[in-house]
Amino acid sequence: MYLCQIMKRVLIITYYWPPAGGSGVQRWVKFAKYLPSLGWQPVVYTPENPDLGSIDESLLKEIPHEAEIIKRPICEPYGIYRKLTGSKGQIKVEANPGNGGKGSFLKKVSLWIRSNFFMPDPRCLWIRPSVRFLKKYLKEHPVDVIVSTGPPQSMHLIARKVSLATGIPWVADFRDPWTRIFYFKHLKLSKWASKKHHQLEQKVLDDATAVVAVSPLVQNDFAQMTSTPVHLVTNGYDESDYLENVTFDGNFNVVHTGLLTAEGNPVELWKALGRKCQDDRSFSEKFRLILAGKTDETVLDSIREAGLSDHLTDHGYIDHGKAVLLQRTASVLILPIREEPETKAILPGKLFEYLAARRPVLGVGTGEGAMAAVLQETQAGKIFDWDDSAGISEYVDCLWETFRSGNEAVFEADIEMYSRRMTTRKMVEIFNTLIYENSAFRG
């Protein structure tokens, strides 16, 4: 108890929290895990009844005992959506919300309503009650810094109102861009709604005490939009996830973990692997294609069309620890980036886990983006354009020959800067600066 009393306190406003699974939850669960060792107590404000796309009970053990968790009910329109569309259980959470515009007339209408009436997203109904609750809570349980993490961007609007009302310094953490995210243009927005999004984004950027981006290109974009200091704190890997010894099964395992969408479908890779199976019997006998996570049916169709059905193991969603083990026993790790200009700025969270796995990465996307820069810096793998069939095939051949020689390709680059301990230190440096500046301003 005494330890918590002498700690500084940070209020973290987040929609995603264990037992939620997926990439959206891991960033702040890992920050929270290491904050107490740096003198900060995490106070997490999160929905009591969120609509979750996946569950990962294993992440509950990552929450430090010093953390204070505050859960409050949230009202969301997804229940009405399920009734209208006849969906049962949880709705399918799309990586690209614009996909809701494909299919039935009712789904198209639902997307239009979602895009134009729920600003900035369907969690907006939680803003007003959350602000009311937090203003009262903070009078009795003060904190030193507020953090909001989005998407959903409604979390930033909660933090903005609370910070303006209390004067507490506020960090707006953007795991993804807002109006420059790849699916924004697919949301069927009216001119009024698009303008409203841009206005809300600008208010968040201007009123935050500090802004945090997860990639250098997004950092640069935000820095051009506001005078608020914009910091870079990437995602990372947790060293404690990589302590267990692993054994290889003797197969040439091509592995992808996480969400694999139609927009990021590496068709030329599937074709190259299919040709390799036809041309090289020894490869066909050892080759395994392993997917772990949510995979779009369009991607699975492409894999079947390439003749890889007999080589495919699709685990579906598995807990984070099991996904890390798959990464570490891979012969090749697949990392496609969606074929959209906006995705050049993205540094996917799984990239850093792939680096920690020390397995070669085969990226598909563009050689000019943020991901390509990290792969080049670490020499962890290669990235190929979407239509570079020859380059992809040549790289697969090279890795296969390394495998046949009895070796498993590894790389030894220094990646400590991307460890969760180091990224948490960067975040704490921002907190401490804000406290110092806030006390100096008041003094």
Residues in the chain: 443
Residue 439 CB neighbours (<10 A): 11
Helix ranges (DSSP H) in 176-233:
191-207, 216-225
| More confident of the two residues 425 and 340 | 425
C-beta atoms surrounding 442 within 10 Å: 7
Structure tokens at 152: 């959903």
pLDDT at 51 exceeding the cut of 80: yes
* pLDDT (0 to 100) of residue 284: 96
- pLDDT > 50? residue 358: yes
CB of 249 within 8 A of CB of 326? no
Confidence of residue 90 (pLDDT cuts 50, 70, 90): very low
- Percent of the chain surpassing pLDDT 70: 87
Reported confidence tier of residue 83, pLDDT bands at 50, 70, 90:
low
CA distance 215 to 220: 9
Beta strands in 151-193 (DSSP E): 170-174
Whole-angstrom CA distances from 413 to 265, 416, 417 are: 29, 9, 11
pLDDT in tens, 32-44: 999 999 999 999 9
> Would you state the pLDDT for residue 341?
64
Cα–Cα distance for residue pair 204/228, rounded to 1 Å: 10
pLDDT value of residue 359: 92
**Can you read off the two tokens belonging to residue 123?**
């969690």
Q: Could you please report the per-residue DSSP string of 390-437?
A: HHHHHHHHHHHHHHHTT---------GGGBHHHHHHHHHHHHHHHHHH
DSSP 242: G
- pLDDT tens-digit profile of 185-228? 777 788 988 899 999 999 999 999 999 999 999 999 999 999 99
If you average pLDDT over residues 338-366, what whole number do you get? Answer: 84
* 8 Å CB contact between 151 and 23: no
Largest CA distance in the chain: 75
Is 219 within 8 Å of 213 (Cβ atoms)? yes
Q: Across 17-21, 101-105, 376-380, which has the greatest mean pLDDT?
A: 17-21
pLDDT score, position 60: 95
Cα–Cα distance measured from residue 68 to residue 112, given in angstroms and rounded to the nearest whole number? 38
> Strand, coil or helix: what is 336?
strand
What pLDDT sits at residue 368?
77
As given in the structure block, the two tokens for residue 320 are 């984070």
User: Coil, helix or strand for 334?
Assistant: strand
> pLDDT tens across 389-416, in order?
999 999 999 999 999 988 766 677 889 9
- Write the burial class of residue 414 (CB in 10 Å: 0-12 exposed, 13-18 middle, 19+ buried): exposed
β-pair partners for 62: none
Helix axes 23-34, 349-357, angle to 10 degrees: 70
- Please spell the DSSP secondary structure of 357-375, one letter per residue: HT--EEEEE-TTSHHHHHH
- Is residue 91 scored above 50 in pLDDT? no
- 137-155 burial: b if 16+ Cβ within 10 Å, else e: bbeeeebbbbbbbbbbbbb
**Would you give the distance in Å from CA 199 to the centre of its chain?**
24
